[in-house]
Amino acid sequence: MILVKLKNLNYLLIFLIILLSFIGAAGLYSAAEGSYYPWAGKHLIRLIIFLLLAIIISLIDLRVFYKYAYIIFILSLLLLFSVEIIGVFGKGASRWIRVFGFSLQPSEIIKVTIVLALAKYYHNLRFDKIGNPLNLFVPLLIVILPFVLVFIQPDLGTALSILLLGILILFAAGVKIWKFILGLFVSLASIPILWNFVVKPYQKDRIISFLNPESDPLGRGYQLIQSKIALGSGGSTGKGFLQGTQSYLEYLPEKQTDFIFTLIGEEFGFVGTIFIIILFLFVITICFYISIKSSHIFGRIIALGVGSNLFIYVILNISMVSGLMPVVGIPLPLISYGGTVMLSIIISIGMVLNIELNHNLKKLSDHAQG
């Protein structure tokens, strides 16, 4: 049975994940000025470990994930809450906790469990009941609680990505569009209150620098200006591997994490960046295709949620480093250095592989509908 499942795995999806991760390792090798230490070597080791974990996840009976979806979500929510108590402070926020000597960012893990919890909820909800406003309470709670906990860390970028992920899943589940429009008006009306009483000073600086980075080119506008210079200097085909001047002369900030797309753009130009975008689009398209192919709501929402999460990561990161939105600290998945982001993405890909293997599974539990 296991051998049959291994034979039927989507190896194209696995290959794309490996290829993107190898591109990330090459970028990290370049960021360290031609050295596997301290980033590229760890990145490749994590890839091997996490990919094996994803394959194991793909072989587990899907009904196990269905049965324990809410429990997994609650545990990840408690983990996120623990950041407020035992979190490690760094880069202006408390986002990490130490687990067995390793740094873990619960705000990245919670995205996967949000998808799981919403998938189970809508799997058990009859389609004609989705329009009932009372049936929005639980899904909104599943999204809003993590959003608030992440926002107060403070981590505006991750909080925004959680909110966008929740909105996309609710829309795909069948929630009427007028409810989103109403929510948009409420959000716009609350902007003055948020700006004056909730948004932190450094977050205000980021927004102001986005609108006019040249007003403080050596201060709050420095990151964005240097990023655009590096991207523009790459031209069509780039300066060549290990030849990026902005990164080697230390002008480019956070080149191993949030701004690695800029480093790749400088060294491989427009062609290199478009190639990466195309690879991500292939992965996202496969996730959406598996979602459509699944015969049960649980699988459809998980695959769609994983694809949507990846889409949000890519759009926010590329928009951020190219000056289309404020710098909010969103990494480029599988390419940027960071263990928790890679773990959450590859684990979620394992779930998608599982769903494809079980796309014809008609019954998840005695009470399930779909």
Give the pLDDT mean for 151-168: 90
Domain ranges within the chain, ordered by starting residue: 2-357
pLDDT score, position 90: 63
Q: To which residue do tokens 């085909």 refer?
A: 237
| Higher per-residue pLDDT: 262 or 154 | 262
Q: List the structure tokens of 292.
A: 């459509």
Residue 363: per-residue pLDDT: 63
Across the chain, what does the average pLDDT equal?
A: 87
Give the pLDDT band of residue 366 (cuts 50, 70, 90).
very low
Residue 90, classed as helix, strand or coil, is strand
- Is the link from the previous residue into 154 a cis peptide, with omega within 30 of 0? yes
Band of pLDDT at residue 361, cut at 50, 70 and 90: low
pLDDT band at 369 (very low <50, low <70, confident <90, very high): very low
275-302 pLDDT tens trace: 999 999 999 999 999 999 998 899 999 9
Instruction: Report the alpha-carbon distance of residue 300 to residue 174 in Å, rounded.
Output: 13
* Residues of the chain above pLDDT 90, percent: 55
Q: Which of 316, 338, 336 is nearest to 327 (CA)?
A: 316
Confidence of residue 367 (pLDDT cuts 50, 70, 90): very low
Whether 370 has a pLDDT exceeding 50, the answer reads no
Mean pLDDT of 259-268: 93
Across 50-54, 95-99, 135-139, 320-324, the highest mean pLDDT is recorded for 50-54
User: How far, in Å, CA of 21 to CA of 370, rounded?
Assistant: 36
Taking residues 315-327, what's their average pLDDT?
89
Mean per-residue pLDDT for 193-217? 73
Span 40-59, mean pLDDT? 96
Please write the tens of the pLDDT for every residue from 222-250: 888 888 888 888 899 999 998 888 777 77
Q: Where are the beta strands (DSSP E) in 210-352?
A: none
Among residues 9, 7, 30, 5, the alpha carbon closest in space to that of 18 is found at: 9
With cut-offs at 50, 70 and 90, classify the pLDDT of residue 94.
Answer: low
